[in-house]
A = this chain, B = another copy of it.
């Protein structure tokens, strides 16, 4: 099942262009906070904040290496986001008139009979 909280955090991270840039940069390989900061003109503190948000969203993993903090992409970080968008696009394309699929996404909502579309 799709975790709503995870999706909230992942999409919120993707809504920030700086965080998208960091993900794309880390797509080319791991980097320290300093290496991420250098080309941006941003402060180290500012960059740490962005990386922390990406870490909280489960998109990035960091670990201390000597005096540096090494950052890399988490495994398959955007799979949940992709799955949600893909599901939604299929739903939309097919114009499902039942909401079975909806209640698959939100099983907590209950009673899918007669969605009255």
Contacts and interface: CB of A to CB of B under 8 A. Distances in A.
A102 B8 contact: no
A4 interface: yes
Interface residues on A, range: 35 or more
A74 B92 CA distance: 10
A25 interface: yes
A31 B81 contact: no
Interface stretch (A16-24, A43-51, A63-71): A16-24
Interface of A: 4, 7-12, 14-17, 20-21, 23-25, 27-29, 31, 35, 73, 77-78, 81-82, 84-86, 88-89, 91-92, 95-99, 101-102, 105-106, 115-117
15 contacts: A8-B15, A10-B15, A11-B11, A12-B15, A14-B85, A15-B15, A21-B102, A24-B91, A24-B101, A28-B96, A29-B117, A78-B88, A82-B82, A82-B85, A85-B85
